């Protein structure tokens, strides 16, 4: 599976937008980009995923670079509840692909 690179940690002020970057220079044409987050003492929670086009949902937006070698998770207005570890994960859409490989993620701190 292709690898992703994320900063270890980031800080944001409450109520400001947050842009969480992810590099995936070895992504293949069939790899989906998934984002999950993990709040303290909880299991991971799905945030968003996409293939080529930018995606929006009620939680966040996913901006995918034109060459797909990087992507950015955008939280439009950070709240204290958004403080978590955010994981960027690639998954092949090929037949028999059932695995997600979690790295260490980015720990987001939100400052009141």
Partner 1 sequence: NAGVTQTPKFQVLKTGQSMTLQCAQDMNHNSMYWYRQDPGMGLRLIYYSASEGTTDKGEVPNGYNVSRLNKREFSLRLESAAPSQTSVYFCASREQSNQPQHFGDGTRLSIL
Q: Least distance from C-beta 13 to partner 1, angstroms?
A: 26
- E strand segments, 53-96: 55-56, 61-64, 70-75, 84-92
| Residue 53 is a binding residue for partner 1 (CB under 8 A) | no
Residue 7 as a binder of partner 1 (CB under 8 A): the answer is no
Site string for partner 1, 83-112 (x = CB under 8 A): ----x---x-x--xxxxxxxxxx-------
What's the CA angle centered on 29, arms 28 and 30, to 5 degrees? Answer: 95
Six token digits for residue 60:
């966040």
Which strand ranges, in their side-by-side order, compose the sheet holding 84-92? 9-13, 106-111, 84-92, 31-38, 45-50
88 backbone dihedrals φ, ψ, rounded to 5°: -105, 125
To partner 1, the closest distance from the beta carbon of 72 in angstroms equals 19
- Of the residues 45, 65, 69, 80, which one makes contact with partner 1 according to CB under 8 A: 45
Grouping H, G, I as helix, E, B as strand and the rest as coil, residue 111 is strand
Q: Is the CB of 35 or the CB of 70 nearer to partner 1?
A: 35
Q: Which residues bind partner 1 (CB under 8 A)?
A: 32, 34, 36, 42-46, 49, 87, 91, 93, 96-105
């Amino acid at each position: 599976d292709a690898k992703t690179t994320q900063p270890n940690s980031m800080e944001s002020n409450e109520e400001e937008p947050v842009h969480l970057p992810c590099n995936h220079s070895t992504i293949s044409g069939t790899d989906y980009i998934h984002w999950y987050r993990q709040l303290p003492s909880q299991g991971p929670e799905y945030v968003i995923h996409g293939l080529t086009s930018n995606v929006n949902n009620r939680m966040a937006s996913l901006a995918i670079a034109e060459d797909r070698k990087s992507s950015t998770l955008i939280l439009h207005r950070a709240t204290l509840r958004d403080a978590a570890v955010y994981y960027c994960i690639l998954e092949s859409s090929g037949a028999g692909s059932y695995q997600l490989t979690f790295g260490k993620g980015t720990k987001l701190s939100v400052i009141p």
